[in-house]
Structure 1
Amino acid sequence: MNPKPHIALIGECMIELQHRADGSLHQSFGGDTLNAAVYLRRELGDNGSVDYVTALGDDSFSDAMCKHWAQEGLGLSRVQRLPGRLPGLYCIQTDAKGERKFLYWRNEAAVRECFTTLAAEPILAALPNYDMVYLSGITLAVLGEVGRERLLQALIETRRRGGKVAFDNNYRPRLWADVEAARLAYRSVLDEVDIALLTEDDERALFGYADSEQVFAAYPGIEEVVLKRGADACLIRCRGERFAVPALKVEKVVDTTAAGDSFSAAYLAGRLKGGSPQEAALAGHRLASRVIQLPGALIPR
């Protein structure tokens, strides 16, 4: 792979409201693939470049998002700005143990037209030129059926040209009409994945797999499968070898938002920089352990 790889992450960034204990709301921005893009850019440093692929409105919140992304060093050439549209919005409520509950307002979000506009044509044509394309289960949900099919063709072409496809399963039942629709969409994409970053609980909820062995058995054709298990050791199967890498213990968990996203970002950065799966997983655990000790999805640099 290119020693300084060019990576595209596809998905949705939303307006984030953090519900504080005193009843106030703190406004920022977040979304699973955006979180991963920011952390990947930070972890890579000068060892690669990261573009974010999405659609926003022409409003002041969308302006602020783009300004923030530019400050983080993300490439914005694949961001569409759709007149009259708005980004989605979500609110995070956390309990005393740091576990979170999400409330969403996203049905009319601009990202739903990300790959259905005329402006999407050159973006879809450009995706196969990246060294790696990253997406998530939430990406699949918000794009809709037409957008998913067009993206799938781009992923097939990416791999044909020698690029890698990385996928984080991030299953959110409320985003799908039913579980069968989600399964169909996931399976079509998983056939075109090189690195699968899977949360064990999400695999259980979506496909009913009872344990890690069933998860690994379900994906014999994927070269590298990383199974994230929260505070337990992550399990990795890479080119026929198996590894277990213990998580780092944290004394006080404040907010688990973006724990999985940050792990995935640091893991991929480690692999892209030439590290072993074990080294990459340790880097993922280190970053996630810092993220969960602060509120919100994106911690200060």
Structure 2
Amino acid sequence: MNSPPRIALIGECMIELQQRADGSLQQSFGGDTLNTAVYLRRELGDKSVVDYVTALGDDSFSDAMCQQWSEEGLGLSRVQRLPGRLPGLYCIQVDARGERKFLYWRNEAAVRDCFTTPTAGPILAALPTYDVLYFSGITLAVLGEAGRQHLLESLVEARKRGASVVFDNNYRARLWTSVEAARAAYRKVLTQVDMALLTEDDEHALFGYADSEQVFAAYPAIEEVVLKRGAEDCLIRCAGERFAVPALKVETVVDTTAAGDSFSAAYLAGRLKGGTPEQAARSGHRLASRVIQVPGALIPRDGIPVAAGE
């Protein structure tokens, strides 16, 4: 792109509690698309426009979230503040190998009404004006059926106007009434996706795909499919070509929270800056390798690696 892209990321941010070894809790904020938005903004720099689209309450935690996002350079004009509502909350418990267990309190979260309130109209109308729209499987789950339909309509209009739609599959079974409901919702939006950032384990859990070949075969119409496989090679199909890009080995994994979110951010940033899929994937692996060595979803700003050649 010749001019800095305007990007809107749609989803949920929650109050995050990180359980320490002594049983105490450290409070911060996190959510898959919010994590990606922060890392994307850091990767693209000051000239980019990265807006976050969500709904919050009118409480002090929501105030603090907005303050933090503003400090990170995210645009807040698409954030609704709903009177009397609250954000969701989750707690991260990490085992000796750095693997995560999540406990959630989110049923009454404000984001569930993000696209169904009277104030949502102007936001939905604005979405097709962006260059890139980004959302995840968790976005689909928390929006509910009516919200998903409004999102789908915005995606269709956005693509008519030349926007790119980016989707991270992030399937969480506990957020859905059934696997059949999740499959139906995913299949509707996947028809409007230009870049799919897929985690192989999630594709297996949701659709039963046994391997990468089945995943790639399932999405013949999506121009760019990126298959994230944890510590294994990332597999990419783009413009009819296939690539495998090895992950970086990390001696000590502290916390894998936001590993996939940060990879997605750096990959998308690399592509928006004109990099090849291989270059973008290497950037994704570098950032993810740093993120998993620090507790919590968002590492300090000075912990961001500099991409090769910059």
Short-chain TM bin: over 0.9
* Deviation sequence 1:118-168 (CA, Å, 0-9, x none): 110000000000000000000000000000000000000010000000000
**Cα offset, 1:231, TM superposition:** 0.1
- Alpha-carbon distance between aligned partners in 1 of 2:151 and 2:122, rounded to the nearest angstrom: 12
Match of 1:223 in 2: 223
Please tell me whether the aligned partners of residues 52 and 74 of structure 2 are also in contact (alpha carbons under 8 angstroms).
yes
Match of 2:184 in 1: 184
Residue 154 of structure 2 aligns to a residue whose secondary structure is helix
Match of 1:250 in 2: 250
Please tell me whether the aligned partners of residues 55 and 81 of structure 1 are also in contact (alpha carbons under 8 angstroms).
yes
Residue 286 of structure 2 aligns to a residue whose secondary structure is helix
Residue identity opposite 2:132 in structure 1: M
Across the aligned residues of Structure 1 and Structure 2, the Cα RMSD in angstroms comes to 0.6
- Alpha-carbon distance between aligned partners in 2 of 1:183 and 1:221, rounded to the nearest angstrom: 17
What percent identity do the matched residue pairs reach?
A: 82
Please tell me whether the aligned partners of residues 200 and 212 of structure 2 are also in contact (alpha carbons under 8 angstroms).
yes
Query: Deviating runs (4+, > 3 A) in structure 1?
Result: none
1:262-277 map, 5 Å: 262-277=262-277
Residue 92 in structure 1 maps to residue 92 in structure 2: yes
- Alpha-carbon distance between aligned partners in 2 of 1:137 and 1:212, rounded to the nearest angstrom: 19
1:112-191 map, 5 Å: 112-191=112-191
Residue identity opposite 1:26 in structure 2: Q
Match of 2:104 in 1: 104
Please tell me whether the aligned partners of residues 128 and 161 of structure 2 are also in contact (alpha carbons under 8 angstroms).
yes
Please tell me whether the aligned partners of residues 167 and 197 of structure 2 are also in contact (alpha carbons under 8 angstroms).
yes
- Alpha-carbon distance between aligned partners in 1 of 2:56 and 2:2, rounded to the nearest angstrom: 30
- Alpha-carbon distance between aligned partners in 2 of 1:280 and 1:46, rounded to the nearest angstrom: 19
**Cα offset, 1:189, TM superposition:** 0.5
- Alpha-carbon distance between aligned partners in 1 of 2:94 and 2:49, rounded to the nearest angstrom: 33
Please tell me whether the aligned partners of residues 38 and 74 of structure 1 are also in contact (alpha carbons under 8 angstroms).
yes
Match of 2:79 in 1: 79
* Deviation sequence 1:196-248 (CA, Å, 0-9, x none): 00000000000000000000000000000000000000000001000000000
- Alpha-carbon distance between aligned partners in 2 of 1:214 and 1:47, rounded to the nearest angstrom: 39
Please tell me whether the aligned partners of residues 291 and 299 of structure 1 are also in contact (alpha carbons under 8 angstroms).
yes
Match of 2:281 in 1: 281
Give the number of equivalent residue pairs: 301
Match of 2:30 in 1: 30
- Alpha-carbon distance between aligned partners in 2 of 1:119 and 1:270, rounded to the nearest angstrom: 34
Residue 215 of structure 1 aligns to a residue whose secondary structure is helix
Residue 56 in structure 1 maps to residue 56 in structure 2: yes
Please tell me whether the aligned partners of residues 3 and 47 of structure 1 are also in contact (alpha carbons under 8 angstroms).
no
Match of 2:306 in 1: none
